[in-house]
A and B are shown apart, each in its own frame.
Chain A
């Protein structure tokens, strides 16, 4: 007992779930590639006003429909607008819709799922029954109806897409809450007389961040896809703002003569979706030991 206390740094630190998970994540080459690609693309889009070679709206009819070349690396559209610039600006819209609508769906899904899971019984049955009914609802049609009938705005777009995507999140969160609500630390929190809100937000939710983060990364590509689809129908973002969906639609109209107008926006969208899906899968493999690769 006369030994000097050990140097605290010498004690081997136990690896946390997150640390181990990150280690596994870093081994996944596709996910690393995806993260790097995504980081660069987002950076380019954010910095678009500074680095875009041309102005976003300037039309130059004498340079209309130029194939990719030294002055326009991705060519120009029939109005002479630089495609690379338009893709960067379109990406700003696509990414922000992806993030905001995902945030809406995560917020709604987490609150809905955690309350249903926490209260259980009749409340749970009713709340999850509503989710079941919503699953049978043709949601694409619902979003289209919303976008056609009401004044189109970015806010409605976020709300409409968020309303579609929260269902699965609610189910995942509910299952997680059910599995931890009978553990001792929750009983302890209850014994201390904490309010329901406090228990849910301070003790339960922090313990289910893993699955929520994993599913959120998989929701972002789904949301971006839905936005592109709506814009493709002419129901999403309104001109002069543009998104990748709009660029793809314009490209598809003239693909016979100017194929690059379809190929480059399509590539931007598809590579982004690839990256996000790879990252989401890698996170799931890394953080959820049950579904990891053998």
Chain B
């Protein structure tokens, strides 16, 4: 296992990260405009001073290598948009909020999705099957930027049950979590259903039944274990996406999370912040994909032959 993880890190993870950093770095630096071009007219001297302060007067390749060197030390540089703040600070302040929201959304998505998938798979082709799958399809077809405002419209403005926006009480967490998790409910339900349909006809299910186990035990103790394998490989990138923050959800509900930086950093041409969020997101994705591979080898002994 240790060898496997080391191999993953040195042969796959680090080269991927390097490519991502390089592409992003040169893409944003070679594009027209700069972090100071949107500000009010500034004189040539001020611009020169700003550039030298941020080290932007050096050749691009020198900047690239000093940036790489700094990342290795964990220093993502100062933010261009928030003077006096570093990218590391901004990310470490906002990430816990996104993480919390993402975890609620994850729990909601997993519970609802698996339940819907199991119910649908019990009687394929039945009304329950079509009904559950159509409802869960809604998660794919009603995008977050429609669902979020609609939920606010109904539950906050009409009924007044929860606040319109904010991130203070527990009830503030409900609507954003549902909005964020709904998209994943659909995929989890569909994957669970597919996995269940394949597993329920296998021999070990007949064995379990003939041992006299209750149907509930057959489904939840035996069938679901095998049926969840495709769900788990989907959950890697999905969980990474949920906890790293969603711009739409965080904007609709005014949540001080990481997601809004993905967009505002690009709008502000905040070079260091863009790179910081891109790298952070890529690292999360890679960590979760590796986790998924490890969990899968634990759940499925047939994969253990490296």
Contacts and interface: CB of A to CB of B under 8 A. Distances in A.
Contacts of B197: 294
B64 to A, nearest CB: 17
A155 interface: no
B149 A270 contact: no
A231 B192 CA distance: 33
Contacts of B269: 148-149
A233 B138 CA distance: 22
A252 B150 CA distance: 8
Interface in B131-145: 134, 137-138, 140-143, 145
A255 B274 contact: no
Contact of B262 (A138, A149, A249): A138
Contact of A269 (B146, B252, B263): B146
A232 B145 contact: yes
A140 interface: yes
A292 to B, nearest CB: 10
A266 B266 contact: no
A110 to B, nearest CB: 23
Nearest to A271: B141
Interface string B70-111: 000000000000000000000000000000000000000000
Interface stretch (A46-54, A111-119, A129-137): A129-137
Interface stretch (B52-60, B219-227, B279-287, B294-302): B279-287
B267 A138 contact: no
A259 B154 CA distance: 10
A262 B274 CA distance: 31
A273 B140 contact: yes
Contacts of A233: 247, 263
Interface in A225-251: 225, 228-229, 232-233, 245, 248-249, 251
Interface residues of B, number: 48
B20 A149 contact: no
Contact of B27 (A145, A255, A262): A145
B31 interface: yes
B247 A262 contact: no
B157 A133 contact: no
B31 A277 contact: no
B153 A149 contact: no
A273 B20 CA distance: 32
B100 to A, nearest CB: 21
Between A228, A252, A255, the greatest number of chain B beta carbons within 10 A of the residue's beta carbon is seen for A252
B32 interface: yes
Given A141-B277, A255-B149, A148 B267 contact: yes
Interface string A250-285: 011001100100110010011101100110000000
B143 A138 contact: no
Given A149-B31, A291-B194, A140 B262 contact: yes
B274 A277 contact: no
Contacts of B138: 270, 274
B153 A255 contact: yes
Given A259-B153, A262-B150, A144 B143 contact: no
Between A135, A138, A148, the greatest number of chain B beta carbons within 10 A of the residue's beta carbon is seen for A138
A293 B33 contact: no
Contacts of A172: none
B134 A141 contact: no
A232 B269 CA distance: 20
Nearest to A256: B157
B233 to A, nearest CB: 13
A90 interface: no
B19 interface: yes
Contacts of A148: 266-267, 269
A145 B266 contact: yes
Interface of B: 12, 15-16, 19-20, 23-24, 27-28, 31-33, 124-125, 130, 134, 137-138, 140-143, 145-146, 149-150, 152-153, 157, 194, 197, 237, 247-248, 252, 262-263, 266-267, 269, 274, 277-278, 281-282, 285-286, 289
17 contacts: A137-B20, A137-B282, A145-B266, A149-B27, A233-B247, A248-B146, A252-B145, A252-B252, A256-B153, A262-B149, A266-B150, A269-B143, A273-B141, A273-B142, A273-B143, A291-B194, A294-B124
Interface of A: 30, 132-133, 135-138, 140-142, 144-145, 148-150, 221, 225, 228-229, 232-233, 245, 248-249, 251-252, 255-256, 259, 262-263, 266, 269-271, 273-274, 277-278, 291, 293-294
Q: Enumerate the 6 nearest inter-chain pairs by beta-carbon distance, A residue then B residue, closest first.
A: A149-B31, A273-B141, A266-B146, A252-B149, A138-B281, A274-B141
